[in-house]
Structure 1
Amino acid sequence: MKKLLLSAAIMALASTSVMADSNEVYMDQVGALNSFNSSQTGDYNTIGRNGSPARQNGVANYADLDQTGYRNDIRELFQIGDRNKVDIDQYGARNSASAHQYGDDNQTTVSQTGRGNDAYTKQVGDDNKIILDQYGYYNHAYAEQRGDDNLIDADQSILGNKLAARQFGDDNTLLSSQHGAFNKVDSRQSGNLNVANLHQHGVGNHAIINQTN
């Protein structure tokens, strides 16, 4: 069984490729020149929800969503504004991702390979950028940006690593890499022009970063 529910208004563009059975896409587009591309290969992969679809509302927003495997889930995709971009790739089983963009010219890239990885992103403002790369099993990442021109670039590999990153202000940068198992990063940057660069290798490391100006 294949399901695809799309609604579009005013020059919106969408393309979807679905292979195998029981994959589902729920998508709404409102505005002009929005672009939505999805590819699903495998079984029981989902994008959006019936009654809570993925949504593009504005001008020239772009989303490229690719799922390969079993029960991967892009729970939420909201692009409200203009020229926002989201690229999500899921390979494996039971990976989950959500992306929220409110503003203009924001970019989010999420790559998940393995099983049970989870990523949630939120951008409120303009010209923010999030890059999350998860490889392995049951890694978790939360990334939130409120302001302009902020950057979060993080990668997680192996097992059970956790990242919580929040930026409030402008021109803040967080670079984080976690390689191992059960490492944890809690980062909060408030103000402008804060920079944090963190690397964790091994098992059970915990770092707390709090930058304010």
Structure 2
Amino acid sequence: MTTSKQDQSEALTKGDFVEAAEPFQLVAEWFADAQASEPNDPNAGALATVDPDGLPNVRMVLVRGLDAGEFVFYTNYESAKGRELLSAGKAALVFHWKSLRRQIRVRGLVAPVPAEEADAYYQSRPRGSRIGAWASQQSRPLESRFALEKEVARFTARFGIGEIPRPEHWSGFRLTPLEIECWHDRPFRLHDRVVFRREDATAPWRKQRLYP
């Protein structure tokens, strides 16, 4: 008996994912389900990094896409996470969709996106967000809300109604996964967990089912 691609897709969407040979189709299916059902920021993930002292940091970021098997997000390179990502070159992400009872954990290597890619995404942002990228010294001490609003006003006046170029300190990262774990809630906490691992970005995936 053969299974059509449509049947395979429906099976993955329903959560019967343990037969998936590689993770990216499954991740794409689950992201599509989240976009259809989650009321706010279905692309939000918790990004974990490590500072120079070895202490972990974690915060929520908006992942802007899964492109060519890489998770893409943007930030201020002078922020805490920007500096830690540039220094360590590795990170972890977790996505949890409570209403779908699903979770994806990702670990891998990070690298800056090409400048032209960052330029294109920056110009797609709302004008206020582009001004904010200039006005906010992200993660650094702020004396008052008024001080931030003054910077916003200063850069709004500086650029007027003209083009707002991308600041050199604002760009993106691509996380190339070496490990992806997919989790689906089951009754009595007997959850389904499948982990995919590979040695590098060119190596084939190895799949293993885990105890819940």
| TM-score normalised per structure 2 | 0.21
Q: Quick one: higher RCO (CA 8 Å, sep 6+), 1 or 2?
A: 2
Which structure shows the higher strand fraction? 1
Query: Which has the greater radius of gyration?
Result: 2
